């Protein structure tokens, strides 16, 4: 694309142009304002380069050679130019001396690039430019504004078509639209950005998911706890959440009396902020994580090895500060509820507990029909100093995660530098029905917090030992998970999750009494059911129920009433004819119980 643009506008100055998920972009400084109307012209040049089947050739040079090239205007260009390739010069300035610099040449076009590349342009069968936006050089608002041109490319035309079909389908499934149409949740400016209001129908889905998890937790020996939404700053100083990660938290709450005293003393906002950090002024924090409070429950009395592992679970609501531009429906929010738990275990129990956690996540995904997932093991970056805890403990924790993943034969990738500051972790990445990736459940090992809180238990040898902690959340956040589920199911939830499981549609008023009797019988069995008594034609009633994605529609006319039956219509399968009420109840209940 850059070569094509350079042919059309030789004065173009290119900055950075990385590959991104599902495509690529290139930032360019150019007098001409590129608009989608130019895309045909650029794509035509690109097509010519593809047809010529030009090789991409790697040239390794010294940094001094590359800098010479840039000074001659030769980088990201088709030949020498009267002005230097200024952004490439700046990028080269940031590369330390001594290392070889790689250039790639394709036809007359030469660019600075670490590669790798496909061998020849001819292998790119299908490509398309997808958009243009403005972007500051290096994301810095004081730097020049550049034009960012986006595109995507695939080896085959069929892959490109499938990608755009997926984009169309994801628009239809957008949880923000479906959430509004189906009245599942609200984001309300008056309530505040990024703070989700669960409407009654959305609350049913969340409650069913929580019940499902709670049943599994009971079987796996977890204990349920509840903790408050705010806690002493001192608690979070001890845990390290404050002032670490201060930027991603709401600012602390300070009591009124303390604020008045500080005002009398002439304390400025900057002083207050510093004194909160140092701990010479106290306050409260909206909790960014549930762990410290679960730790305090564990530490409330002496513990013996006999009661380990202690597993404390809570649907705990936490608050994180996100930039308003980053907020997105239910999937990026400022307040969310984690299906959280903390396991306090002896060292020799760690591997077994990790395995059980991973199996729990597996069970959750299987139940929800998500068969395509992989895991990502986030490891520390050995060259960074942001991590707490000793390197020996980190290595032990990382190995334990690898072993658990290997035991379950999960396909996994290891990512350096993706660990939490307190320990390594496993993230589950799901591919939904239309092929998009979502990062969901997480399991993390933690050797750090037990040390910070000086947690101990009495071992079989009579000596004191330090437990190891596991943090885990199969759904991650209820908000994000439900947002993903809405899109995964396209709003058509399986019966066990459907806010309204059955609706009875009387054809005329004459069948209202029978419709109400059927409704009562389903309701008494715990089925979520209503009667549509509106003065509509039956066709309209069916259409509404279908739009609301209700799994079972029970139509009652004169014939059904006299036979004490209903005519069954399902969301998926259409008309199934007359059925007795008892048989129908058994069928719906079996479907709910199996969660299929």
Tokens of 426: 């496993």
Element (DSSP H or E) covering residue 278: helix 269-278
What gap in Å lies between CA 323 and CA 308, rounded to an integer?
41
| Active-site option among 111, 340, 446, 532 | 340
Rule CB under 5 A: is residue 455 a binding residue for Zn ion?
no
- Considering the complex, state which of residue 66 and residue 343 has its C-beta at the smaller distance from Zn ion: 343
Would you call 384 helix, strand, or coil by DSSP?
coil
- Considering the complex, state which of residue 173 and residue 425 has its C-beta at the smaller distance from Zn ion: 425
CB of 338 to Zn ion, least distance (A): 8
| Active-site option among 69, 291, 482, 519 | 291
CB of 356 to Zn ion, least distance (A): 17
Stretch that binds Zn ion, among 147-155, 157-165, 309-317, 470-478 (CB under 5 A): 470-478
Q: In terms of DSSP bridges, do strands 457-458 and 464-465 run parallel, antiparallel, or are they unpaired?
A: antiparallel
Element (DSSP H or E) covering residue 134: strand 126-136
What gap in Å lies between CA 198 and CA 445, rounded to an integer?
32
Residue 145 annotated among the catalytic residues of the structure: no
Q: Of residues 471, 472, 549, 569, which one binds Zn ion by CB under 5 A?
A: 471
- Considering the complex, state which of residue 291 and residue 507 has its C-beta at the smaller distance from Zn ion: 291
What gap in Å lies between CA 423 and CA 395, rounded to an integer?
10
Stretch that binds Zn ion, among 109-117, 134-142, 393-401, 471-479 (CB under 5 A): 471-479
Stretch 54-73: interaction string toward Zn ion, x if CB under 5 A: --------------------
Stretch 78-97: interaction string toward Zn ion, x if CB under 5 A: --------------------
Residue 362 DSSP label? H
Residues 100-139 that bind Zn ion (CB under 5 A): none
Residue 412 annotated among the catalytic residues of the structure: no
Residues 544-563 that bind Zn ion (CB under 5 A): none
Burial 445-463 (b: 16+ CB within 10 A, else e): bbbbbbebbebebeeeeee
CB of 456 to Zn ion, least distance (A): 19
Residue 471 annotated among the catalytic residues of the structure: yes
| Number of residues binding to Zn ion, judged by CB under 5 A | 2
| Active-site option among 7, 206, 303, 471 | 471
Stretch that binds Zn ion, among 268-276, 312-320, 468-476, 546-554 (CB under 5 A): 468-476
- Considering the complex, state which of residue 314 and residue 560 has its C-beta at the smaller distance from Zn ion: 314
Stretch that binds Zn ion, among 135-143, 466-474, 555-563, 571-579 (CB under 5 A): 466-474
Would you call 492 helix, strand, or coil by DSSP?
coil
| Active-site option among 74, 201, 237, 342 | 342
Residue 362 annotated among the catalytic residues of the structure: no
Tokens of 424: 């390594």
| Active-site option among 74, 311, 320, 549 | 320
Q: Where are the beta strands (DSSP E) in 346-403?
A: 373-379
The H-assigned helical ranges of 453-537 are 478-489, 512-524
Burial 509-537 (b: 16+ CB within 10 A, else e): eebeebbeebbeebeeeebbbbbbeeeee
CB-based burial of residue 260 (10 Å sphere; 0-12 exposed, 13-18 middle, 19+ buried)?
exposed
CB of 444 to Zn ion, least distance (A): 7
| Active-site option among 206, 334, 425, 541 | 425
What gap in Å lies between CA 225 and CA 207, rounded to an integer?
17
CB of 291 to Zn ion, least distance (A): 3
- CA-closest candidate to residue 59, choices 100, 98, 90: 100
Residue reference for tokens 């990512």: 415
What gap in Å lies between CA 114 and CA 228, rounded to an integer?
50
CB of 290 to Zn ion, least distance (A): 6
Tokens of 481: 């998970």
CB of 420 to Zn ion, least distance (A): 9
CB of 312 to Zn ion, least distance (A): 10
- Considering the complex, state which of residue 469 and residue 545 has its C-beta at the smaller distance from Zn ion: 469
What gap in Å lies between CA 323 and CA 595, rounded to an integer?
38
- Considering the complex, state which of residue 320 and residue 471 has its C-beta at the smaller distance from Zn ion: 471
CB of 99 to Zn ion, least distance (A): 41
What gap in Å lies between CA 270 and CA 251, rounded to an integer?
13
Which residues have CB under 8 Å from 77's CB, separation 6+? 6, 10, 85, 109, 110
| Active-site option among 338, 444, 501, 511 | 338
Residues 135-194 that bind Zn ion (CB under 5 A): none
Which residues have CB under 8 Å from 152's CB, separation 6+? 22, 23, 24, 127, 128, 130, 160, 163
- Considering the complex, state which of residue 220 and residue 437 has its C-beta at the smaller distance from Zn ion: 220
CB of 441 to Zn ion, least distance (A): 13
**Residue 187: CA atoms inside 13 Å, Cβ hemisphere, count?**
21
Phi, psi of 553 (to 5 degrees): -115, 125
Residue 582 annotated among the catalytic residues of the structure: no
Residue 425 annotated among the catalytic residues of the structure: yes
- Considering the complex, state which of residue 425 and residue 471 has its C-beta at the smaller distance from Zn ion: 471
Stretch that binds Zn ion, among 221-229, 257-265, 386-394, 469-477 (CB under 5 A): 469-477
- Considering the complex, state which of residue 442 and residue 511 has its C-beta at the smaller distance from Zn ion: 442
- CA-closest candidate to residue 376, choices 342, 411, 422, 423: 411
- Considering the complex, state which of residue 314 and residue 532 has its C-beta at the smaller distance from Zn ion: 314
Residue 342 annotated among the catalytic residues of the structure: yes
Residues 254-313 that bind Zn ion (CB under 5 A): 291
Contact 149, 1 (CB under 8 A): yes
Interface residues with Zn ion (CB under 5 A)?
A: 291, 471
Which sequence positions are flagged as catalytic? 291, 320, 338, 340, 342, 425, 471
């Amino acid at each position: 694309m850059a070569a094509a643009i350079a042919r059309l506008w030789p004065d173009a100055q290119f900055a950075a142009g990385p590959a991104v998920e599902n495509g690529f972009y290139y930032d360019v400084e150019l007098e001409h304002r590129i608009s989608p109307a130019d895309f045909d012209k650029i794509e035509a040049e690109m097509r010519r380069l593809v047809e010529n089947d030009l090789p991409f050739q790697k040239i390794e040079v010294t940094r001094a050679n590359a800098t010479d090239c840039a000074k001659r205007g030769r980088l990201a260009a088709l030949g020498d130019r009267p002005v230097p390739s200024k952004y490439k010069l700046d990028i080269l300035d940031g590369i330390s001396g001594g290392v070889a610099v790689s250039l790639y040449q394709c036809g007359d076009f030469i660019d600075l690039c670490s590669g790798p590349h496909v061998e020849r342009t001819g292998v790119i069968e299908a490509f398309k430019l997808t958009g243009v936006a403005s972007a500051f050089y290096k994301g810095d608002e004081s730097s020049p504004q550049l034009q960012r041109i986006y595109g995507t490319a695939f080896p085959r035309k069929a892959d490109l078509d499938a990608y755009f079909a997926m984009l169309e389908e994801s628009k239809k499934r957008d949880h923000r639209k479906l959430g509004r149409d189906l009245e599942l949740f609200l984001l309300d400016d008056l309530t505040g950005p990024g703070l989700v209001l669960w409407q009654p129908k959305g609350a049913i889905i969340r409650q069913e998911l929580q019940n499902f998890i709670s049943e599994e937790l009971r079987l796996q020996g977890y204990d349920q706890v509840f903790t408050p939404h705010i806690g002493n700053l001192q608690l979070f100083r001890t845990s390290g959440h404050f002032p670490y990660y201060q930027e991603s938290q709401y600012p602390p709450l300070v009591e009124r009396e303390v604020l008045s005293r500080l005002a009398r003393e002439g304390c400025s906002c900057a002083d207050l902020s510093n004194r909160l950090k140092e701990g010479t002024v106290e306050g409260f924090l909206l909790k960014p994580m549930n762990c410290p409070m679960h730790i305090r429950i564990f530490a409330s009395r002496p513990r013996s090895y006999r009661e380990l592992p202690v597993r404390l679970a809570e649907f705990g609501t936490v608050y994180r500060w996100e930039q308003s531009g980053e907020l997105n429906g239910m999937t990026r929010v400022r307040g969310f509820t984690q299906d959280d738990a903390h396991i306090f275990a002896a060292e020799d129990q760690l591997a077994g507990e990790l395995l059980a956690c991973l199996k729990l996540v597996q069970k959750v995904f299987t139940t929800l029909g998500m068969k395509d997932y992989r895991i990502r093991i986030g490891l520390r970056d050995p060259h960074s100093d942001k991590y707490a805890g000793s390197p020996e403990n980190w290595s032990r924790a990382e190995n334990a995660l690898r072993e658990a993943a290997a035991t379950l034969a999960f396909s996994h990738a290891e990512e350096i530098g993706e660990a939490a500051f307190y320990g390594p972790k496993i993230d589950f990445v799901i591919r939904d029905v239309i092929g998009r990736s979502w990062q969901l459940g997480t399991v993390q090992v933690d050797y750090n917090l037990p040390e910070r809180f000086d947690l101990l238990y009495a071992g079989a040898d009579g000596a004191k030992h330090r437990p190891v902690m596991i943090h885990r959340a199969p759904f991650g956040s209820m908000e994000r998970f439900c947002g993903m589920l809405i899109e995964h199911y396209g709003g058509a939830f399986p019966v066990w999750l459907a806010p309204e499981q059955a609706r009875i549609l009387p054809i005329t008023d004459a069948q209202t009494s029978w419709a109400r009797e059927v409704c009562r019988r389903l309701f008494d069995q715990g089925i979520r059911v209503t009667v549509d008594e509106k003065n509509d034609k039956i066709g309209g009633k069916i259409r509404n129920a279908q739009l609301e994605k209700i799994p079972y529609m029970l139509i009652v006319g004169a014939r059904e009433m006299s036979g004490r039956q209903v005519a069954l219509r399902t969301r998926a399968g259409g008309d199934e004819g007359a059925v007795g009420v008892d048989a129908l109840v058994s069928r719906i209940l079996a479907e709910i119980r199996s969660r299929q």
